[in-house]
Amino acid sequence: MDQFLTFGIVGLSTAAIYAVIGSGLVLTYTTTGVFNFAHGAAGMLSAFMYWQLTVGWGWPVPVALVVVLLVLAPGFGLLVERFVLRPVQALGEAERLVMTVALLSGLIATARWIWDPNVARPLPMFFAARKPIHLGPAVITWHQAITMAVAVAVAIGLRILLYRTRAGAEMRAAVDDRALVGLTGADPVRAGRVSWILGTQLAAIGGILIAPTVTLDAAQLSLLIVSAYTAAVFGRLRSLPLTFLGAVVVGCMESYLTGYLPQNEYLPGLRLAAPAFLLFLALLVFPHRRLRGRERRLARVPVPTARGTLVFAAVVIAFGAVLASLLGEADLITYGAIFSLGVVALSYVPLAGYAGQVSLCQLSMAGIGAVVWGHLGAHGQLWALGAAILVSAAAGALVALPALRLSGVYLALGTAAFAVILDRWIFGIPAFHVFGLRIALFDQGSVDVSGPRLFGLRLDSGRELMVFAAVCLALASIGVAALRRSRFGRRLIALRDSEAAYATLGGNLLVAKVAVFALASGIAGLGGALYGMQQRTVTADQFSLIAGLPIFLVAVVGGLGAVGNGLFAGTAFVAPTNALIAIAPGTANLVALLPGLAGVGLGHNPDGIVSRFRRQWEPLARDRIALPILLCVLALAWALRFTDVINDWTYYGGSLVIAAALRAWASARQAEPAEPEIPVEWWGLRRAWRPEDEEVLARGVAAG
Amino acid sequence: MASLQVSGVTVSFGGNRALDGVALTAEAGRVTGLIGPNGAGKSTLFDVASGLRRPSSGQVRLDGRDVTRARPSARARHGLARTFQRLELFGRLSVRDNLLVAAELGPERRRADRIVTEILHRLELTDLADTSPDALPTGVGRLVEVGRALAIRPKVLLLDEPAAGQDVEETERFAELLRALTDDGTAVVLVEHDMSLVMAVCDEVYVLDLGKIIAVGPPEVIRSDETVLAAYLGDA
Ligand SMILES: Nc1ncnc2c1ncn2[C@@H]1O[C@H](COP(=O)(O)OP(=O)(O)O)[C@@H](O)[C@H]1O
Ligand SMILES: [Mg+2]
């Protein structure tokens, strides 16, 4: 009984923290419509700063609290509101989502950069020296008591703020109808700003309170937020009282699981994954308002031509072959990931690009592929690669079933929860038997992965594996391009553009969504298997939610609708970072920030870089003089490098410069003759509408 | 033989009854008009008929078959198609592909390409086949919606203000199209504000006001019905 009480108290004090953090989340979501994935990360950063001020620099606790809660947190909230979210406020939900995911990824990288993750940073509890309070049989530490008191104070404070003050009235107005707030004389921008300040402060309070009871680790603290998300989902992201109730459920469940979960080797991970489980369940059980309201602008999905696709595939393979011929063994492992992770990124094209399903668990699917290949393909049998793809696809279909009920933010949350469940629990389960079949995952450690056997040849060197991965990426890209031109591809795009129209024309949403999830997961599984081969041995960590976020971000920046995105995302994710590190080893941490920053830059180029790139380089590809010159020069440069006449930097730098120069020349040569005049009224009809037309029209109208 | 039969349909949004015991029958080879002031519940009735919204009570029958609990896709397979007042075009596909998706979901998917070409021609959209529907004026977008609905070869066609934004000549051509469709045996339900079009093509007209059918009859009777005039004048 005493034990039951003790765990109850632990549970309630944890719940208090979740409630505080969760209410901040609800506050910003309802007032601004932005679901802040980085909310927990803001709390994490606050906890680190608080540690720095108190333990690091020895400031008195009250001063540190004032500085963090009243200066740093509000300032941070304002910065985020102004520079990260306001630019994308007018864009679709997916873009807003990407921004906060980018922020999450960037904040974790920043914290790891400033505070070396390998150093332990214990943070004392509040009033740790005082004797605990005895209440009958129950024992409450001062820290726990304070935590609960803070939660009660926050509840009362929010109630007063929302119902007794002008700022609160404005925020509630913004909840009811964002478009109408302006008419009632309230100021939506100010309401948004207040909610970001408050939200960040609440996250900071939660972060500071929870940090002493867990380890101060950037990724872990940011993920504690999963529990707070669950609480917020209990409140359907709208109701503060229900959020508090949800927090109590989550907090107590975690605590009692710690106390009463039977001790065996399969279950400890379950406790870690429990909040994610609950989040998944809560998402499915609570009805959500359908996120209707059309997104203003969806990124284009170009139709690749057959010839263009083949040329692109040839370029991918040539690129792989060139790298393989020039790089040393260590570099081969590093840069081989361009192609294997490129395949993983490519899986986003049908899933998120065509069908609009934002999934955050694609790297987890890659992990499944890697594990299956690692175990079944130990002798390099090719059928095992097929099995790896199939098992990943099956897992993808499994995710799709619940995902059918979710869309937008909820789907992203659900798939994130799934990734956490895999990474914290499933991947760590020791091998077990089902119907006499031994099923092994990461075996609580690492799995050795070997290369495939092809036509009697064992591909095992980094060189061979890089070319193999490049060929796989080329084939997968051809496959996705064919998909875009196929009936199924059209259906996926249609389903995203209007589910209502697709369904009333006779389209089956269930079948299409399950199929696209399975397809994308299969592609990701292939990528994971290739990645595993290159790495030789893999651990569950390499396929966690946090590890997968930057890949997602880079893919979004590339443009989710473009088939070329696999190569782009793989290259952009792997090459610049490692090249920078090679030039200046001190930048390793700064470099981890890049994907996050790139995501934040997205607001300015929502169509993606790949299609812009394509437009810019097309003149060169079509030029009958410049193109052959380029190919000859590249071949010559390669030969010079291969025979060690020139060094790496001259080779890569020189090739880029020459290509850019030829591109400029080719586009100058092809500067198109003026096209026939088309009367203004027919713009957009006789010829495609162009973004610049609007401006021309506006100027014409202004001139009278 | 009744192709679409709706009876006793009631739908509430919160406390508001958007539809209150509505009954409507549309027969093959005829154009059934559905008119009424804005907010009367016409689009909501289409949502119920096409399966996008469950009524709290009432029945929907297609060709005599009870489809009240059937999914939208199942109703489409039984021959029901509709257009949307607020356009629901596939903005990232070309006009041709908008129709192609539909044709490939329809009963004659083998001939999908031919069907699409034929409909584009019929609606005089051939020149615009490769443009994005987002770039089109709304009036043309409505026509693309009609074409897309036709591509699944429907037996019952629900048109929600298809001629809004068309000029006199275009409306005349549209009336021709409707007559040609009914000659082929299609049952058409037409929601429309342009009274001259309604009077010209409809065989029977239902008048909906505040969620209730207040009058049914041939167009010339409806035109002079007192309650109908009152509903419209009261609205204006
Ligand atoms: N999704 C909805 N939520 C709440 N009320 C709705 C919704 N859709 C329609 N309504 C209400 O139902 C009534 C009928 O709307 P509608 O069917 O669109 O009318 P009509 O098409 O005849 O103009 C209106 O009062 C409208 O405000
Ligand atoms: Mg309507």
Can you say whether residue B124 is alpha, beta or left, with left for phi > 0 and alpha for psi between -120 and 50 degrees?
left
Bridge partners (DSSP) listed for residue B12? B17
- Is A496 close to B131, i.e. CB distance below 8 A? no
The answer to whether the CB of B211 is under 6 A from ligand 1 is no
Residue type, B178: L
CA-based torsion, A485, A489, A494, A500: positive or negative: positive
Q: How confident is the model at residue B168 (pLDDT cuts 50, 70, 90)?
A: confident
Residue A484, min C-alpha distance to chain B (Å): 11
The band of B229, judged by pLDDT with boundaries at 50, 70 and 90, is: confident
Average pLDDT over residues A420-437: 80
Q: Among candidates A40, A423, A19, which has minimal Cα distance to A252?
A: A19
Nearest CA to ligand 1 atom 14: B41
Per-residue pLDDT of A340-398, as tens digits, reads 999 999 999 999 889 988 899 999 999 999 999 999 988 888 899 999 999 999 999 99
Residues sharing a CB contact under 8 Å with residue A109, sequence separation 6 or more, in sequence order: A589, A592, A593, A596
State the pLDDT confidence band at A423, using cuts at 50, 70 and 90.
confident
pTM of the model: 0.87
Residues of A in contact with B149 (CB under 8 A): 505
How far does residue A506's CA lie from ligand 2's centre (Å)? 22
What are the tokens at A700? 């014409």
Predicted pLDDT of residue A230 = 87
B30-43 pLDDT, tens per residue? 999 999 999 999 99
d(CA A411, CA B29): 45
Whether residue A501 and residue B131 make contact (CB cut-off 8 A), yes or no, is no
* Cβ-contact A204, A192 below 8 angstroms: no
Interface predicted TM-score (ipTM) over 0.90: yes
* CB-CB contact of B219 with B202 (8 Å): yes
Contact between chains at A685 and B92 (C-beta distance less than 8 A)? no
Q: Please state the atom number of ligand 1 nearest to the C-alpha of residue B38.
A: 23
Closest CA to B83 of B4, B192, B166: B192
A419 Cβ contact partners less than 8 Å away, ≥ 6 residues apart:
A360, A361, A363, A364, A544, A545, A548
At A129, the amino acid letter reads: A
Residue B74 Cα to chain centre, angstroms: 18
Query: Helix crossing, A609-622 with A565-583: angle to 10°?
Result: 100
Query: pLDDT tens for residues A516-575?
Result: 999 999 999 999 999 999 999 999 889 998 888 888 888 888 888 888 888 998 888 887
Closest CA to B104 of B96, B94, B116, B112: B112
pLDDT score at A129: 77
Least confident residue range of A68-72, A552-556, B150-154, B200-204: A552-556
pLDDT digits (tens, 9 = 90+) for B76-108: 999 999 999 999 999 999 999 999 999 999 998
Q: Using a CB-CB distance cutoff of 8 angstroms, which residues of chain B are in contact with residue A507?
A: 73, 76, 101, 105
Which residues, including other chains, have CB under 8 Å from residue A137's CB and lie 6 or more apart? A1, A2, A5
Element (H, E) at A650: helix A648-669
Which residues have C-beta within 8 Å of that of residue A475, sequence separation ≥ 6? A313
Q: Domains of chain B (ranges plus CATH)?
A: 26-54+69-79+156-236 (3.40.50.300), 86-153 (no CATH)
The predicted-structure confidence for A37-52, as pLDDT tens digits, reads as follows 888 889 999 999 999 9
Average pLDDT rounded to a whole number, residues A503-513: 92
Query: Does the beta-carbon distance from A685 to B135 stay under 8 Å?
Result: yes
Distance of CA B155 to the CA centre of its chain: 12
- Residue pLDDT, tens place only, A24-35: 988 888 888 788
User: Cα–Cα distance between A415 and A283 in angstroms, integer?
Assistant: 11
Pocket-testing residue among B20, B38, B44, B83, ligand 1, by greatest number of atoms within 8 A of Cβ: B44
Residue A292 pLDDT level (bands cut at 50, 70, 90) = very low
B126-152 pLDDT, tens digit per residue, is: 999 999 998 888 889 999 999 999 999
Kindly state the DSSP code that residue B126 receives in the 8-state scheme. Answer: G
- A341 closest CA partner among A317, A370, A321: A370
Please give the pLDDT value at position A691: 63
